[in-house]
Structure 1
Amino acid sequence: MNTDSDSPRPARRRYSPLAMSAIVTALLALLLQGGFVPLNLAAAVLALLGLRQIRREPERYIGRAFCWLAIALVLVLAVLTALVEPTPSAPPAEFMVPEQNAAER
């Protein structure tokens, strides 16, 4: 009789599906240059849920680095998008309402 097969083998740890989804979503947001805000938010939420899943079942899941990488990527994309987006400028003078004092002159 084979005693090796009778002993319980520890389950193999796998990457968290939420962590994998987070990194894929963050990379997709990178391809779209951070212009689609809901995709950035989805990547961040998936990463946080992945960290929670890994923390609750550490004997089953790995992938903490993927979650943190997705969060960092989304933050960098948000900062770069905010820096690159033009700020709204003042409307041209022709569309401005004239002051009352100027009309009295």
Structure 2
Amino acid sequence: FAAELTLCNNDADAIINLSGTGTEAPLISISPNPLIASMSSCENSISVPLTISNSGGNNLSFEVLNKKDFYDDFEDGLDNWTWNGSWGLTTKCIRRSPCSF
């Protein structure tokens, strides 16, 4: 593209010629989307494959953040609950793990 930039002031106006070319933007693709995982027992971690790709015309910069706490609140079942302290008190199993590649 080409254009002119005019600087108006109390002296003589100045005209600056402008030109430039644009580049195509990055285009992110995430698979699977949404990312869904299920656990069959109270385990410490689970691995789920996630693919992030860029089909755009420029470099893609991204950051993976995990800011939410995840918890299970088991009450009964096949010995799936946690008992801690006085009778009838169940604890929540809270997990937080940073994402890493």
TM-score, normalised with respect to structure 2: 0.29
Work out which structure has the larger RCO, using CA pairs closer than 8 Å and 6 or more positions apart in sequence: 1
More helix by share: 1
Higher gyration radius (CA): 2
